[in-house]
A = this chain, B = another copy of it.
Amino acid sequence: MSEPTAPRKRRGSGRATVHDVARLAGVGSITVSRYFTEPGRVAAERSARIAAAVKELGYVPNLAASGLASAHGRVVGMVIPNISGPIFANTIQTFSDTLNRHGYQLLLASSYFSATKEESAVRAFLGWKPAALAVVGRFHNRATEKLLSTAGIPVVETWDYQPRRKPIQVGYSNNAVGEQAARYLYAKGYRRIAFVQNSLAGDLSAVDRSDGYEAVMREHGLEPLIYVPKAEAPFDAGREAVESLAIAPAKRAKPVEAIIFANDNLAAGGLLAGQRAGLKIPQQCAMVGFGDYAFSQLLLPSLTTIRPPGREIGEIAALRILEQLGVLPASTQDTRLNLLACELIERESA
């Protein structure tokens, strides 16, 4: 009848579990579980006892165990090309917030526009048995495609929209953006319009935009001119492009009258270089960017640009996922379309 030291558990984190709570509250462990997942089905009096026990023990349900037992973790993975740029931050923010509001957590990784890195991120996520995955764009390598299609969970492609594609897509048409910019300049009377491509080769969405531009040019019988800078840093690339296209064009070429840049970083570099060289913007050369970064309204002249619906994309992507998961009551169904529009912000540069 000696009282030995309590047999210490040999494994485990030492933190309270459902069983500890159940014992203290004098109920079955499963009732504690239900107290968290379906509070309505637990009698009020027991709920109170459980609540007290939870508080006393500082109990936090172990989501890893929960995910294991129920075969669906409450995490959603998102692979984004670049967290720190000005582009996707809003999307991450609204995506994360919308998920959090419904009890899901965001797992984040970045691909730096590399299909291989995207693949390994997706692979890593899959290990968490995520409830869903979100990726950016529709360009993935073969392995990623397969991973996504066989994952058996909702997959959303963001920041792009192509008809006739299986995964849910929430975004806009980059092609249409290219057209939009070209049409805008054409309507203003510009004819010698160039497109400055992103020097970052992996950014295929920018290629879609230049395709749109090219189509509009040909539609009007104009010769498209796509310039691909050699410089890597965006500001430098923009400068280089403006110098080649507008300030000191090659011998036989006339300077262009307007430039569409693949993004606002390039545009800012180009705009400042133009100013420094005494180029009158937009009189001698108009400029249109893409992205509506924070600084674009602050430039002199302020930058005419196209604003992608970053916040909406994140929010709607999350809502679509939650709908697929059956988390959202039908009454709250969001009626917005998945194909969003980009707004052309008319400022001083074009």
Contacts and interface: CB of A to CB of B under 8 A. Distances in A.
A58 B89 contact: no
A72 B11 CA distance: 11
A11 B13 CA distance: 26
A128 B63 CA distance: 5
Nearest to A92: B83
A62 B106 CA distance: 17
A128 B107 CA distance: 12
B109 A100 contact: yes
Q: Please give the count of copies of this chain that the complex contains.
A: 2
A109 B86 contact: no
A327 interface: no
Interface residues of A, number: 55
Contacts of A86: 86, 294
A30 to B, nearest CB: 15
A85 interface: yes
Contacts of A93: 82-84, 110
Nearest to A63: B127
Contacts of A128: 63-64, 75, 105
Nearest to A299: B298
Interface string A57-100: 01011111111100111010000001111100110110011001
B126 A60 contact: yes
Interface of A: 11-15, 58, 60-68, 71-73, 75, 82-86, 89-90, 92-93, 96-97, 100, 105-110, 121, 123-129, 150, 152, 268, 272, 293-295, 298-300
Given A64-B64, A300-B300, 18 more contacts: A13-B129, A13-B152, A14-B152, A15-B152, A61-B127, A62-B127, A63-B129, A64-B129, A68-B68, A75-B128, A83-B93, A84-B92, A96-B109, A96-B110, A105-B124, A105-B125, A107-B107, A293-B294
